[in-house]
Amino acid sequence: MPKHHVTTTINRDPVEFLCSSEQTLLDVLRDVLQLTGSKEGCASGDCGACSVTLDGRLVCACLVLGVEAQGRSVETIEGMAQGDELHPLQRKFLEHAALQCGICTPGFLVASKALLERNPHPTETELRYWLAGNLCRCTGYDKIVRAVLDAATEMRS
């Protein structure tokens, strides 16, 4: 079957790619564009390691088809730092030691950024429920929650 030609925007840059009908956005990001910061932990939308935003909405890239990116704007972990400046969330994750192995970290950062864009002042409970779709097996979440709450405080000031 012929591949689809998709024109889209990824991390604010125009991008074109070819993909087959069944390829997910995650497959395209990783296997076609080699943006491997988005991780595949389950391919069923349960772990959140492939979290990206699609027109600003937080999604699991493994549950979106590549062709659905047509004409839309995708943001991945690779677009989070600006030039040589880390995003406050990225800095706070490092300062709080909020990662151990680091495989879930891109997903947590993308998900946390999406939360703070719509709710700059989340309570701990709101944050914990927002992040409930992102699995971390190393940290027990404590330092992640502290890092995001600290970043929220800094971003508000």
Binding site for another protein (CB under 8 A): 20, 30-31, 34-44, 46-47, 49, 76-78, 80-81, 86, 90, 93-97, 99-106, 109, 125, 127-129, 131-146
In contact, 86 and 121? CB cutoff 8 Å: no
Residue (18 or 71) nearer to another protein, CB:
18
Minimum CB separation of residue 111 from another protein in Å reads 10
Tokens of 17: 């790619």
Minimum CB separation of residue 102 from another protein in Å reads 3
- The count of residues in the chain is 157
How far apart CA 104 and CA 115 sit, in angstroms, is 17
Minimum CB separation of residue 140 from another protein in Å reads 3
Residue (7 or 129) nearer to another protein, CB:
129
Q: How are strands ordered across the β-sheet holding 13-19?
A: 13-19, 4-10, 73-75, 51-54, 57-60
Residue (82 or 157) nearer to another protein, CB:
82
Closest to 126 measured CA to CA, from 152, 99, 100, 91 = 152
Minimum CB separation of residue 138 from another protein in Å reads 5
Minimum CB separation of residue 52 from another protein in Å reads 11
Residue (8 or 139) nearer to another protein, CB:
139
Amino acid at 119: N
Q: Which residues contact 153 (CB under 8 A, 6 or more apart)?
A: none
Residue (69 or 111) nearer to another protein, CB:
111
DSSP strands (E only) in the chain = 4-10, 13-19, 51-54, 57-60, 73-75
